[in-house]
Amino acid sequence: MNQVTIKNNFITLTVLDYGAIIQKLIIKNKDGVDTNVVVGLEEPEKYLTDNKSLGACIGRYAGRISNGGFHINNVHYPIFAKDGVHLHGGQKGFGKRYWTIEQVHDGENPFVKLTYLSPDMEEGYPGNLKCTVTYKLVGPSLFIIHEATTDKATPVNLTNHSYFNLDGEETIDHWNLRLSCPEYLETDAKLLPTGKILSVKNSKYDFLEMKKIGQVRLDTPFVMDSSLKNGTVLTSDKSGLSMEVVTNQPGVVVYTPPAFAAICFETQNFPDAPNQPHFPNSILQPGETYLNESEFRFSFVN
């Protein structure tokens, strides 16, 4: 297992070739103290048995797919499902594969680029999918750029599954959260989308205005609206850190794990889009390039 670290004046980032995992993301807090703002494992080998997708690249399809499969051009493709749910690309998704460290740039705007070739019918998905993930530091921002091309029509939905904790505290109740998400996807008992897109108004999912997370716990697909003036922001008064999330994706799954203090912003297409015709298109065609570009911008709370 190989490890790469890049840094600029604001951020130090450590990435593993296994799962293209973000192991450490270190920011200086308001007191000038280095703070690792992602939950990670100190020993890289422990990621081999991690089942939480800590910091991993998720694919070929992030999130849940229903009915144990999908159809493309009237052909049914069965995929692994547990209790009728396919999650995060199957039994051995991209977060459990070794990637190739293709390029490391240490100069201005340092970056590390990793590649993975997902072969035709891996985990039941058609097409040889060439994937690239680039982690790039620009000032106080981390850019995560997922790209992919295929030789057969296939569902693609890539994201990063980092768990953020801005202050090292053991509770998230005091963190402030704003989501530029006026709608969310209704989900059933298995957290599969029902197909309904609902307004957040008068629901526990209304974070259109900045407020404490409090007792609200989330495992929720939200609909992003980039036209909103107020962006998606997480802040900690204790550390003084603020993180804004900007993406070209139509959705974000916001997840607060029950076992430890953290929050995930899984910027992506909608879960189960291959089986929901009115959701944004999730099928990548030969000759097209999939692109998920997300920015995590750090600053200090005024």
Across the chain, which has 302 residues, the per-10-residue mean pLDDT values are: 96 98 92 90 94 96 96 96 92 97 95 99 98 98 98 98 92 93 95 96 94 91 84 91 95 94 96 97 98 96 74
Active site annotation includes 122: no
Residue ranges and CATH numbers for the domains of the chain are 3-300 (2.70.98.10)
Q: Dihedral angle at the C-alpha atoms of 118, 116, 263, 232, nearest 10 degrees? A: -100
Residue 70, C-beta contacts closer than 8 angstroms, at least 6 positions apart: 76, 77, 79, 155, 274, 275
Does the annotation flag 76 for ligand binding? no
Ligand-binding annotation for 151, yes or no, is no
Q: Catalytic site residue 88?
A: no
Alpha-carbon distance 100 to 21, whole Å?
12
Place of tokens 């009237």: 74
Q: In whole angstroms, what is the distance from residue 30 CA to residue 48 CA?
A: 34
- Does 125 belong to an annotated binding site? no
pTM of the model: 0.96
What is residue 229's predicted lDDT score, i.e. its pLDDT? 67
188 assigned binding-site residue = no
Residue 59: what are its φ and ψ, rounded to 5°? -175, 170
Report d(CA 265, CA 200) in Å as an integer.
17
For tokens 């396919």, name the residue.
Answer: 86
Marked catalytic residue, from 161, 170, 174, 295: 161
**Helix, strand, or coil (residue 274):** helix
Among 122, 123, 183, 266, which one carries the catalytic annotation? 266
